[in-house]
Every structure is written in C-alpha cells, then in structure tokens.
Amino acid sequence: MSASLVSILAVLLLALAGCTPGGEIPMGSGVCDVPMFIGQTAQSNPLPPRPIPSHPHLAEQGKNGMHSDSYCTGTYPWSGPLGSNPQVTSLSMGLLGGLVATVAVDTQGRLICVSGGLLGFKLLLLDPDTLQILASYPLPQRPGMSEFWRTWDWTVIMSDTSGGAYFHLDNQDRPIIANANKIIQVFRAVENVGTFAWQVEEEVDLNAVLPEDAPVTDAMPDWDGWLWFVTRNGIVGVVNPADGAINTLTLTHLGAEGQTIEEEIQNAMAIAEDGVYIVSDYALYRFERNLADGSPQRTWREEYDRGTYAKPGAINQGSGTTPTLLGDELIAITDNADVQVNVLIYQRLPGVSGDRLVCQVPIFEPDFSVSENSLIGYDHSVIVENNYQYSSMSPMDPNPRLHPGVVRIDVDEDCTACEIIWENAEESSTTVPKLSIGNGLIYLYTRLQGTPDDIMAWYLTALDFETGATAFKIFTGTGMHWNNSYAPTTIGPDGTVYVGVFNGIIAVRDGDESEPPRDLGCN
C-alpha cells in the first residue's frame, strides 16, 4: 500500500471518529482554548433597498439558490444575526462528509439543500429550526467522486462542480437539479400523514445530445421559461419547454497554433431578462435565445487574463467567479492573472460602442491572490474575498492555512471608473460570502488567526458594509469537520445564517434573553 494511500486512510479514520449522523457535528481539539465571541453586538444599519428584478420562474430573491438570485448578487433583503446572545446548532450529515453545498428556502420556510459526502449526493428537506431531516433523496454519483475512489486523489472531487452542487428553486418550491446521469430533474416535496418524501415531477434527459464525458454544471430557466444548461466541457444548451427540443453549441476558440481548444465551465450561470451570462476558463459570454429555432446565440465574448497555472485555492485555471450582474447595465467577474487577480467590470448589454471593459482593479497581495467564489454585488459595489490558501485542497486537511483579504470596490456614477473603498485582513478563504441589506453586514466564515497548528477554530464573522470593519466573530467549532470547504453562507428569512461545513450544516442566530449561552462543557 502506498504511503499516500495510508495517509488518506488515516485521515478518513480520524474523520470518522466521533461522527454520529443526525447528531451534532463533533468538535476537534482546543474548543476550550479559544474565545466564544470576539467583538461586540452590532447595530443594525439597513442599506437602501436595491431590489433585484423578480425572475418569473424562480423563487424570490434570497431563496432560490447558492447565489441568492438569478443575478447572482449574494444579497438578501432581510437581516442576519447581530451577535446578540448567539446560538449555534449543527447537524452531522454522515460518517464520511456530508457537506451542504447549496441552501434554498421554500415558501414554508423549510430548507432545501444538497449534501455531498464520499458516498454520494443527497437532496434534503430540513426543518429550519431543528435542522431535522424531513426528506432525503439519493442522487447519482458524480464523475469526480468515481474518479476519487479509483485514484484516491482529492483534487478530482474539489474540481468537480457538477451533479447538483448548483441547483435552483423554482416558483413552485421545486428544486431544479442537473444530476450526474445528465438528466435534469424537477422535484416536489410531498407530505403523507406527517411524513415527507421527494417526488420527481419532470425530467429532461440530455444524454442524446451530450457526449459521455459532459457532466452538467448548472441548469436554470430564462425569463420565458426555456431551460438553459451548461456542461463542464463547454457545452451550452437550451430546452424548449413546449416540445422538449434541445439545441446546443460548444464554446471553442483557436489556439496559438491554429488548434481548436474546448473551454471549460465550472461556474453557475447568471440570467436576467436581458440575457444569459456564462464564464468559461477563457472568456466571459453573453447569450440570447435565437427566436427562430430556440438555439443559444452568442452576442459577445470578452477574453480575460487566465494566467499560466491554477493557483493554490483555485479549482481550475480561469475565473473562479460565477458572473454577478450589477443593476441594469453592468457585470462583474475576476480573472486569474498570475501576480494579482483583477476585478473586471463590463458593460453587459449589446450595442456597446468601443471598449466594453469599465475597469480592471488588481486586488490582494501580489503572488498570493485567488478568487474562487462569486462576488457580492450591491448597487454599484462589489465585495470580493481572497481564496488563496496553503492546503491540500482536501476538506479534511489537518492544518489548512489561509491568506487574508476582503475588498470592496465601487463603480462611479458614470460607469467609467472604479476605486477600492476599503480592505479588510480577515481570512475567509473558502466560503461564498453574503450581504444582508436588512442590517448592512457581510457574513464570512473564517479560521481564527494566531492559533497553534493543532487547533482549527472556525467563526461566523461579520463585516460592516460601509466601513469594512470587523463587527464580531461567533465561534462555531474546532477541527476538520467544521471546515467550510467552499460551501456558501445563506441568510434565512428569520435571521438565521446557515453555513455548509465538511460534515454537514450549522445554523447561527441571535438568541433572546431567556436562552442560556452555548454550553461546550468548558467550565
């Protein structure tokens, strides 16, 4: 047996220790050696409402997917916790992992999520207060997971965003999931005498139009109800809702020696009434649907600096950001330039004369900058965190070391230039950050700096949107099971923040005066 395999098995055994599916996530070492709360209770400072146009076929803003809305703004109209008598609960999803990749909220306030472990993905319905699993449905094994069991290579898992990691909740409380068998399924939660189950209501089989090696990354309806999808190997497709007809095209370009290069898509789509926006590992695209035959029609392509390699913390060589739409005219991503990644903001509508690029802003410390999560977009502001990390990319890394950096950039009123408004040195290396418009706080997930190597202490951390100052940190847990591992923070309508972690999901909320503080047995 190879030394690498032995080390992986040892880490797996360590991960299993103390895990009880359905119970609390187990703690690692040092739980009594770190502060439970840092900072002070924040004052609510609501931001002026900037409502996102309501997508006619999806759930309302804040409830329909990983990035909050079809504009992928990462913003919520309601408030998150202010750090008042914080209460933290958790749910272990399995012996081997259980990471909750995406959380949506139905009209009854229940959580709909996909949880991924080494044994596969599951579609879950959760009680928002107790985190009890109300319904579970197994999804097909992803290609990356099958490859892992063959090679024991963690990177193939971490670089596979297909199979349901991205999903969207429609306007009937139904999750739309493109599974690993290249079938788009629409589910409904049904109740029978107090018990719940997932039922498949609609299916679109893509196998006839896709090659074997084409895992589907994302699927989402446009404003007219036509279903768009993208695959990891650069295929863009549209499904006619009337007759099921499917049209596709493949994103390619000519290389330096005249060869055809297929592009890769690892991020979700952003969709507005004006078009569909997709980023590959080479370029940012805008598409419309051809009204004559329903095929995807490219209206513009903007190539960016993809660098020369995938840096530590990056999934692939290219932009790591799902496109974020700002207002009626702008779109933002980051590139993968070697020395410093840049925030790139473009005019997004067709018919632009001259340069479409509004600004290019280098961010973070030179040689230590990666952007692998979607930007927060509010009005003409974007928030971006540094995802550069010194680690194996394994969620069970015994000592992942992160690199600091959170930046706010604003576009001027004329949409002609940008400037950095503030910078913060928090280390929020893997989470998808979110903004509460209701209280003006940005929510990150950070590892406490300055702790010994054998203590991994994790915190829900809030920054002030206006100043960038750290408002507070709420301790969640210690050890690898509490590693966020690229899952999002999600703000529920009741003010709870949910965070996907390696072993499941955690919930952080403000408590009332009658609730005792969290007891971890340290007194």
Write the pLDDT tens digit of every residue in 331-376.
999 999 999 999 999 999 998 988 999 999 999 999 999 999 999 9
Is-contact 81 497, C-beta < 8 A? yes
Q: What stretch of H or E contains 284?
A: strand 283-289
Residue 424 token pair: 């913060």
pLDDT tens string 110-156: 999 999 877 778 999 999 999 999 999 999 886 666 666 676 666 66
Locus of tokens 């589907």:
216
Q: Which residue has the higher pLDDT, 157 or 422?
A: 422
86 sits in which H/E element:
strand 86-92
Predicted confidence at residue 523, as pLDDT, reads 74
For 146, other C-beta atoms within 10 Å of its C-beta total: 14
Domains belonging to the chain, first-starting first, are 3-510 (2.130.10.10)
Q: What is the pLDDT of residue 385?
A: 97
pLDDT of amino acid 392: 64
Residue type, 217: T
Q: Which of 347, 367, 366 is nearest to 357 (CA)?
A: 347
* Total Cβ atoms within 10 A of residue 337: 18
Residue 5 has pLDDT above 90, yes or no: no
Tell me: pLDDT of 9 over 90: no
Q: How far is 137 from 174, CA to CA, in rounded Å?
A: 14
Which residue type, as a one-letter code, is found at position 435?
A: L
Instruction: Give the pLDDT score at 10.
Output: 39
Q: If you average pLDDT over residues 245-250, what whole number do you get?
A: 97
Which tokens is 219 given? 């699927």
Give the integer Cα–Cα distance in Å for 10 and 5.
9
Alpha carbons within 13 A on the beta-carbon side of 11? 19
> 37-54: string of b/e by CB count within 10 Å (b at 16+)?
bbbeebeeeebeebebee
Q: Is 119 exposed, middle or buried (0-12, 13-18, 19+ CB in 10 A)?
A: middle
Amino acid 149: pLDDT: 67
Model pTM?
A: 0.94
Which residues lie below 8 Å from residue 415, measured CB to CB, with a gap of 6+? 329, 330, 347, 358, 380
Does position 288 have pLDDT exceeding 50, yes or no?
A: yes
Instruction: For residues 315 and 30, give the distance between their C-alpha atoms in angstroms, rounded to a whole number.
Output: 30
pLDDT higher than threshold 70 for residue 15? no
